[in-house]
Structure 1
């Protein structure tokens, strides 16, 4: 009997202990175990949206994506942090050199490893998924297969900042456009992240996955850029260095040419090429960890990230066709003035670039031979101070001093000064300011792209077409942008075009684009703008090199502008660059001396 009572008492105690333990687990610690169970078995992860690709009009891939995975270490709070299990194995798989995990401020996180090799990810997921302090975070990495090609137009991307995340549009690990088209077309290129729920067992092994929310990829862009012409423009910029050295042989500090080449179709305003130099590789900014070239590009005195095609510079004589248009419209006639080596006005000599007396010239010859005295005398005839307002108003109507319409953030609008604009600033305008302004000197500033747009307006007889570099978004062709008509007399438009055609036939560009030098009849204008720069603490004087050209003259389908900062004479540096781009567009073969050796399927004049 006592034996049976002992057995009964033993089982009673055991059952009581189990009952208490069950009560403790199921009742007293229910919330704790329920929370632990849910956090261990169900984990949410973002599905990174693919950023839209960017291609040229002829299908060359300029920007695409790849999926990268980073290992993130998170320090939530002191009580929630636990020792990382299998740390040595995780270190090996992720390629982490430091054996000690750092202690971080509460609520912060640290990226331990970036771009983990794909072959190591399955094993690494098994070790990480069950540990609250570690996260394998997927990240879309931008890739630029063509490297530096059109990089100043494309711009570059970077990781989101705290402000970006707080805006509600982005998550940690997303990328965002920082400059160029990557930034200005951000809303079209970026997608919407999805959400994935992953169920794991108590050992961290994945049991099931389900898509809670479908993501949405960004829209692909097709640019108006022609890859062949873009490469020709960039090559012409690079080769311009040799022409610059011939003019500035004493300058040892010149390492590469600084400038821009722009080509547009004047019929629709589409940008066919937009090149800037110095340049950079956008992969430097997309790759993680950052290569040393990224910091070098940002800190360089050469400023390779500046897009010089939309940056303002003193135009010099390439401004003269617009001045001529303003003079003829204001006077109602085509005045003829003598073109001496200099004229005297206001107690000083106003010089021409040519020391000879070139005889009488009208507006056409003034363009063709770049006669400074014609513009000086026109300004004096119009009464210099008030005539600055006439010049300012007309050149702004043509397209200077305003955005071109291109889909780029950071485009500069330049400066068109006048008595009226100076008066608003409390600055007195002197007569000599107008004389300088008339030849594109003084405070006048224009961008290479503006110059191309204005040339298109002149040859289209006042039809002002906004510039565009976007051909299609998400496979949908973009409609033409609306044009505006600049008022003007037909004979004035024709006179300006005649002057630019004479430039190539018998004027300052005949040695490169004359009838015996180039098979396509073109028009244009050379430009040599006086400027200065501080080098080694001293102010030195230089010249910007410009050329603007178009063709064929009867049915223009191409406008090209070349600009070289501190490049010297326009006819010696910028003009050869334009000839190379024109030859590439019309499939004309040139030899090393830029002589025509072969041409096929030439467009008719």
Structure 2
């Protein structure tokens, strides 16, 4: 055995091995400690944060829009419904390339530039992970195409939505109105509370009752937590809080009466307003021509809107509420009552009518509509019956214009009626103060002569004329006109604005004059009473559209159709116990007996032929609730 061979030092090797093992164990322990600490940090310390982030990838909170309240007429006929519609929506966060996605969708279904532009506008005001509608009212074929290509369209989904539908279309467009998509201007006026309330809702009331009762019809938004996959598809609903539906409206309007008035008005431009004399409830509210409100619900096309807005007949214009027309001789019964109350005339007062009237120290002749006049000793009843202008010229010449203005105001002229519809116009009944402020001129006696006949500066809406007539019919109770009868099943009581005070014999004189308008052989409203088994009281009117030079006669043939006189008629029925008041205006209709009175007659005929229970608000029923009116 060699001498230089050294024996192994097992103790040293064992000690080295133990040191290395110790270092390794310490290293493993440290690493395990770090791992445990990290696990602890993830699973305990930051558990809530990371769970929330995980849930945000898996669970989405989606708003659930409320069902909009329905609208019914007084007899339960549905005027505004909600119908399902399938819309194409996109969640922006789920789409990697929006332009490519839109291009692909455009190859699958019809998608025009307007759809894309509106989509990008909506995308600017969206909430995170909120579906943004791109196309509304998809057809079954379009739904199928999207479904087949679903794997190519992450973030794209077809969603069901209830949208507004108006089953009677044009019939109630100017009263019920319509909803439309929320635009940028409306969104800019939203408060934070409004933003919350309209989450998930794309529409808002634009005109009519849909606008004025928006808060009641809208309801309250709900929400649901849904689980989604990586492509944004909903797997299941984890939690749901149901929305609160909007309140339904029951109207005073009567669908059958509305249809009768609309059809009898025919192709004429004009308006018909019928009011319940005993409550102020609006029974009919017609403006023609009209339009189909369904066109606006999901966004009207440019072509359709241009056809409506460029039409010379202006179908979007609400003539009953916003049309301001000279009231003409329809004001004479009201003026007669005011003249009696102020002592300007009495039952025995008469005038001589040669066909014109001349003011003292004035050479101008104020013509009567009847060129040869109404003869001698024309009293108040004859003046109303035959619509004698000279009698009222004489009354106005001896009457203070401010007193005349006060009478008109008490009957609802020259100010908004307060009806529960938006954008009403006030009309105008002038006064000294008004003329000096508006024209910078004093009041002249000739102005009073024009005003007493509803001409000159005087303007009134068909609604105001109906309110005036209803106030006469119930002998001075001035009600606020109401379209809505009940909200959410809770009736709205009639609202009395004030009472017009007059002596009973004065009311009797005016009633007699309005009765003779219809039933006297010389009355100007004979056409309205034909074929009715109850009595009607009324007053005709003619409103000049263009002026006629002194000494010239009105020549219909020499004027363009739209420059001819408007035909007006106001009336109430039945005479012995008034229930319903009506105003009819036909633009450029000229002859009330031909175009306006037949409309009023058919409205009266329909309403008074109803079973008593159908018109309970308009009159008293007998003990067993049976029978018919009239």
Normalising by structure 2, we get a TM-score of 0.78
CA distance in 2, matches of 1:567, 1:164: 43
- Pair 122,213 (structure 1): closer, same or farther in 2 beyond 3 Å: farther
2:588 corresponds to which residue? 566
User: Is the 2:82–2:163 contact (alpha carbons within 8 Å) kept by the matching residues of 1?
Assistant: yes
CA distance in 1, matches of 2:52, 2:148: 22
CA distance in 1, matches of 2:452, 2:56: 74
- Name the larger-Rg structure: 2
Task: Tell me whether 1:342 sits opposite 2:359 in the alignment.
Answer: no
CA root-mean-square deviation: 4.0
Using the TM superposition, name which of 575-584 and 164-173 deviates more.
164-173
- Pair 104,471 (structure 1): closer, same or farther in 2 beyond 3 Å: closer
2:81 corresponds to which residue? 64
- Pair 125,184 (structure 1): closer, same or farther in 2 beyond 3 Å: farther
Q: Deviations over 1:299-351 (max 9, x none)?
A: 43322122111122111110111111121111262321112211222211111
Unmatched 5+ stretches in structure 1: 1-14, 242-256, 589-600
Counterpart of 2:171 (choices 120, 128, 149) is 149
User: Is the 1:314–1:529 contact (alpha carbons within 8 Å) kept by the matching residues of 2?
Assistant: yes
2:407 corresponds to which residue? 394
Counterpart of 2:471 (choices 452, 457, 461) is 457
Q: Deviations over 1:517-570 (max 9, x none)?
A: 53321110000111239xxx9998421100011111101112111101122122
- Pair 463,88 (structure 1): closer, same or farther in 2 beyond 3 Å: closer
1:373 corresponds to which residue? 390
2:501 corresponds to which residue? 487
Counterpart of 1:305 (choices 308, 316, 319) is 316
- Pair 424,130 (structure 1): closer, same or farther in 2 beyond 3 Å: same
User: Is the 1:284–1:291 contact (alpha carbons within 8 Å) kept by the matching residues of 2?
Assistant: no
1:578 corresponds to which residue? 600
1:408 corresponds to which residue? 421
1:353 corresponds to which residue? 369
User: Is the 2:108–2:145 contact (alpha carbons within 8 Å) kept by the matching residues of 1?
Assistant: no
Residue 49 of structure 1: how far off its partner (Å): 0.8
Q: Please list, as runs of the form range in 1=range in 2, the aligned pairs for 1:49-60 lying within 5 A after superposition.
A: 49-60=66-77
Unmatched 5+ stretches in structure 2: 1-27, 127-131, 548-558, 611-626
Residue 268 of structure 1: how far off its partner (Å): 1.3
Residue 126 of structure 1: how far off its partner (Å): 10
CA distance in 2, matches of 1:90, 1:33: 36
Residue 381 of structure 1: how far off its partner (Å): 2.8
Task: Tell me whether 1:435 sits opposite 2:449 in the alignment.
Answer: yes
Residue 294 of structure 1: how far off its partner (Å): 3.2
Q: Secondary structure at the match of 1:331?
A: coil
Residue 33 of structure 1: how far off its partner (Å): 8.1
Q: Secondary structure at the match of 1:168?
A: helix
Counterpart of 1:219 (choices 243, 247, 264) is 247
CA distance in 2, matches of 1:499, 1:289: 50
- Pair 104,263 (structure 1): closer, same or farther in 2 beyond 3 Å: closer
Residue 92 of structure 1: how far off its partner (Å): 9.0
Residue 487 of structure 1: how far off its partner (Å): 1.7
Task: Tell me whether 1:319 sits opposite 2:319 in the alignment.
Answer: no
2:481 corresponds to which residue? 467
CA distance in 2, matches of 1:171, 1:316: 50
Structure holding more helix per residue: 2
Counterpart of 2:517 (choices 477, 482, 503) is 503
- Pair 339,186 (structure 1): closer, same or farther in 2 beyond 3 Å: same
**Matched positions, count:** 549
Task: Tell me whether 1:112 sits opposite 2:134 in the alignment.
Answer: yes
- Pair 157,148 (structure 1): closer, same or farther in 2 beyond 3 Å: same
User: Is the 2:545–2:564 contact (alpha carbons within 8 Å) kept by the matching residues of 1?
Assistant: yes
